[in-house]
Amino acid sequence: MRTPLRQPRIAIIGAGMSGICLGALLTDAGIEDFTLYEKASSAGGTWRENSYPGIACDVPSRFYQYTFARNPDWSRPMAPGAEINAYFAKVARDTGVHDRIQYGAEVARIDWVDGRWSVTTTAGASAAYDFVISATGILHHPRYPDLDGLDTFAGPAFHSARWDHAVPLEGRRIGVIGTGSTGAQIVTDLAGSSAELVVFQRTPHWVMQMRNPEFSRLTRWLHRRFPRYDALTYHGSRLFIESFSSALLRPGLARRFGQWLIRRQLRRIEDPTLRARLTPDFEPMCRRLIISTGYYDAVQRDDVRVVTEAIDQVEPTGVRTADGVLHECDVLVLATGFDSHAYLRPAAMTGPGGLTLDDAWADGPRAYRTIAVPGFPNFFMFMGPNSPVGNYSLVAIAEAQASAMLAWIERWRRREVDTVAPTTEATDAFYRDVDAAMPATVWATGCTSWYVGQGGRVELFPWAPKRFRSMLAAIDDDAFETTTPA
- Phi, psi (rounded to 5 degrees) for 238: -60, -50
Site for ligand N01 in 444-463 (CB under 6 A): 450
Nearest to 117 by CA among 400, 358, 347: 347
Nearer CB in complex with ligand N01: 308/403: 308
Is 337 a residue that touches ligand N01 (CB under 6 A)?
yes
Based on the shown chain and the rule CB under 6 A, indicate whether residue 288 belongs to the binding site for ligand N01: yes
Q: Does 336 bind ligand N01 (CB under 6 A)?
A: yes
- Binding segment for ligand N01 among 163-171, 178-186, 225-233, 461-469 (CB under 6 A)? 178-186
Our finding on whether 121 is near ligand N01 (CB under 6 A) is: no
Q: Contacting ligand N01 (CB under 6 A), which of 180, 318, 351, 422? A: 180
Q: Which of 91, 119, 139, 349 binds ligand N01 (CB under 6 A)?
A: 139
Smallest separation, CB 318 to ligand N01 (Å): 15
What backbone torsions phi and psi does residue 133 show, to the nearest 5 degrees? -120, 125
Stretch that binds ligand N01, among 13-21, 195-203, 353-361, 470-478 (CB under 6 A): 195-203
If one asks whether residue 177 binds ligand N01 (CB under 6 A), the answer comes out as yes
Q: Please choose, out of 69-77, 97-105, 335-343, 424-432, the segment that lies near ligand N01 by the rule CB under 6 A.
A: 335-343
Residue closer to ligand N01 (CB basis): 142 or 156: 142
Q: Is 339 exposed, middle or buried (0-12, 13-18, 19+ CB in 10 A)?
A: middle
Q: Does 387 sit near ligand N01 (CB under 6 A)?
A: no
**Which of residues 292 and 378 has its CB atom nearest to ligand N01 in the complex?**
292
Choose one: 100-108, 180-188, 349-357, 400-408; the region binding ligand N01 (CB under 6 A). Answer: 180-188
Measured between alpha carbons, how far is 78 from 325 in angstroms, rounded to an integer? Answer: 38
Does residue number 181 form part of the binding site for ligand N01 (CB under 6 A)? Answer: yes
198 touching ligand N01, by CB under 6 A: no
190 counts as binding ligand N01 under rule CB under 6 A: no
Give the number of residues in contact with ligand N01, rule: CB under 6 A: 25
Question: Does 307 help bind ligand N01 (rule: CB under 6 A)?
Answer: no
**319 touches ligand N01 by CB under 6 A:** no
Q: Does 335 bind ligand N01 (CB under 6 A)?
A: yes
Instruction: Say whether residue 203 binds ligand N01 (CB under 6 A).
Output: yes
Do the bridges between strand 196-200 and strand 419-422 make them parallel or antiparallel, or are there none, so unpaired?
A: unpaired
- Closer CB to ligand N01, 130 or 315, in the complex: 315
Residue of the chain from 12, 89, 101, 147 that contacts ligand N01 (CB under 6 A): 147
Q: Does 194 bind ligand N01 (CB under 6 A)?
A: no
Contacting residue, 23, 183, 318, 388, with ligand N01 by CB under 6 A: 183
Q: Which is nearer to ligand N01, 15 or 59 (CB)?
A: 59
One of 43, 57, 307, 396 touching ligand N01 (CB under 6 A): 57
**346 cis-preceded (ω within 30 degrees of 0):** yes
Per-residue HEC secondary structure of the chain comes to CCCCCCCCCEEEECCCHHHHHHHHHHHHCCCCCEEEECCCCCCCCHHHHCCCCCCECCCCCCCCCCCCCCCCCCCCCCCEHHHHHHHHHHHHHHCCHHHHEECCCCEEEEEEECCEEEEEECCCCEEEECEEEECCCCCCEECCCCCCCHHHCCCCEEEHHHCCCCCCCCCCEEEEECCCHHHHHHHHHHCCCCCEEEEECCCCCCEEECCCCCCCHHHHHHHHHCHHHHHHHHHHHHHHHHHHHHHHHCCCHHHHHHHHHHHHHHHHCCCHHHHHHCCCCCCCCCCCCEEECCHHHHCCCCCEEEECCCEEEEECCEEEECCCCEEECCEEEECCCEECCCCCCCCEEECHHHCEHHHHCCCCCCCECCCECCCCCCEEECCCCCCCCCCCCHHHHHHHHHHHHHHHHHHHHCCCCCEEEECHHHHHHHHHHHHHHHHHCHHHCCCCCCCECHHHCECCCCCCHHHHHHHHHCCCHHHEEEECCC
Q: Among 18, 182, 259, 387, which residue interacts with ligand N01 (rule: CB under 6 A)? A: 182
Closer residue to ligand N01 (CB): 159 or 173: 159
If the CB atoms of residues 258 and 374 are measured against ligand N01, the closer one turns out to be 258
Q: Min. distance of Cβ 182 from ligand N01 in angstroms?
A: 3
Q: Is 385 in the site for ligand N01 (CB under 6 A)?
A: no
| Closest by CA position to 147, among listed 307, 319, 329, 277 | 319
Closer to ligand N01 by Cβ: residue 182 or 387 = 182
Nearer to ligand N01 (CB atom), residue 209 or residue 482: 209
Q: How far is the CB of 12 from ligand N01 (least distance, A)?
A: 22
Beta carbons within 10 angstroms of residue 120's beta carbon: 16
- Tell me the per-residue interface mask from 58 to 77 with ligand N01, x by CB under 6 A, - otherwise: xx------------------
CA 136 to chain centre: 10
Residues that bind ligand N01 (CB under 6 A): 56-59, 139, 145, 147, 177-183, 185, 200, 202-203, 288, 311, 335-338, 450
